[in-house]
Amino acid sequence: MNTDYGRGVRGVMQQIDKRKSLGKSKIIKTPGERIFNFFNIMLMLFVCFITIYPFINTCAISFNEGPDALKGGIYFFPRKFTLKNYKEIFADETIIRAYAITISRTVIGVIVSVLITGMFAYGLSKPNIVFKKFYLMVCVIGMIFNAGLIPTYMLYKDVGLLNSYAVYILPYAVSIWNMIIMKTFFENLPAELEQSAMVDGASTFQVFFMITIPISMQIIATMCIFNGVAQWNSWFDAYMFNTRRPELQPVQTYLYKVIALSQAQTNSAAEAELLERRKVNVVTIRAATVMVTVVPITFIYAIFQKHFTQGIMIGSLKS
């Protein structure tokens, strides 16, 4: 589960915003360039359309009546408008419980992860730390060697992480990749502020919480987004490790089960019954479940989009 976005982004991120001030438009365009620009804009609009259309289409289907949707031909708007699908999924307590799990694991997971990873990164960002080389080596090996699914499963089983809520939080508490990004950020902070606080007699923890964190909000926000999105999206851990306690499943795992149910033959009688009951509505119900899952994350993304793109650039700046 390695996020390998921008591995090695480091050196090149500096001047991303420079171009906007360059005022390309002042130059008079040749006809060839105009044609090029026209097609280019069209292409970009098309790319945006392709990216968004699945969401629009799913939204339209989720507001449509089930049997009618199977006939096809719904593109942008529902044909027979209904709220029945949403009513049905919200009538089912499972999804509400799943939602509560998702929200709580996102909040707790983000706090725990940003705090522990942040402290870890802060410690390692100081220049004369004893054993620093050793610590970094452990991190690098830990990052590229993965013992695999089964040994992890066995470990979780042995320490009681199977069928527990903690399996949503603890394994994500430290992300080595995020640690490296934060460490780079902390290394580039001006040292004077901290030093003056130290002179005034503040402890290391006080400095970290009262000074470093407030001036590092950009990277903290970025990390919150990354962790939050990862938590919100994760379904595999619940599917794999919390099989015996379905009440702990987050909404994504619930959605996965809805999908798997509509895909494959069912095993148990209960599932078969559920499938039968929902057969005619399976497409619309699924669409509604998707919408319920995707809308919050899209909103959060839209709000924070600007901040975190800047954050990742700064975080990956080479010192």
Partner 1 sequence: MQALESNKNAPVRKKSISKVVKHTMKEFRKQLSLQIMILIGLAFIIFFRFVPIYGLQLAFKELMPGKGIWDSPCVGFKHFQDFFLSGHFKTVMGNTISLSLMKLFIAFPVPILFAILLNEISSYRFRSIVQGITYLPHFISYVIVYGVVSSILNRDGGSLNSLLLSLGIIKEPIHFLASKPLFWPLMVLLDIWKETGWNSIIYMAAIAGINPELYEAARVDGANKIRQIISITLPSLVPVMIVLLILRVGSILDAGFEQLLVFRNPIVFEKANILDVYVMDIGIEQGRFGYATAVGLFKSVISFIMIYFSNKIANRSEYGLW
Distance of alpha carbon 182 from alpha carbon 212, whole angstroms: 11
The torsion region of residue 73 among left (phi > 0), alpha (psi -120 to 50) and beta comes to: left
> Torsion over CA of 220, 222, 228 and 229, rounded to 10 degrees?
-170
Between the alpha carbon of residue 87 and those of residues 11, 81, 230, the distances in Å are: 51, 13, 28
- The region of 23-31, 84-92, 101-109, 212-220 touching partner 1 under the rule CB under 8 A is 23-31
Among 81, 87, 210, 305, binds partner 1 (CB under 8 A): 305
Among 90, 126, 164, 307, binds partner 1 (CB under 8 A): 126
- Residues 66-105 touching partner 1, rule: CB under 8 A, are 69-75
- Residues 264-283 touching partner 1, rule: CB under 8 A, are 264-265, 283
Q: ∠300-239-91 over CA atoms, to 5°?
A: 65
Distance of alpha carbon 231 from alpha carbon 48, whole angstroms: 26
Among 91, 93, 130, 133, binds partner 1 (CB under 8 A): 130
Between the alpha carbon of residue 314 and those of residues 15, 120, 260, 273, the distances in Å are: 11, 19, 41, 53
Nearer to partner 1, 100 or 303 (CB): 303
- Residues 33-52 touching partner 1, rule: CB under 8 A, are 33, 36-37, 40-41, 43-44, 47-48, 50-52
- Residues 233-252 touching partner 1, rule: CB under 8 A, are 233-236, 240, 252
Nearer to partner 1, 196 or 203 (CB): 203
- Residues 177-236 touching partner 1, rule: CB under 8 A, are 179, 203-205, 208, 229, 233-236
Number of residues lying near partner 1 (CB under 8 A): 120
Among 95, 289, 314, 315, binds partner 1 (CB under 8 A): 289
Give min distance, CB of 156 to partner 1, in A.
9
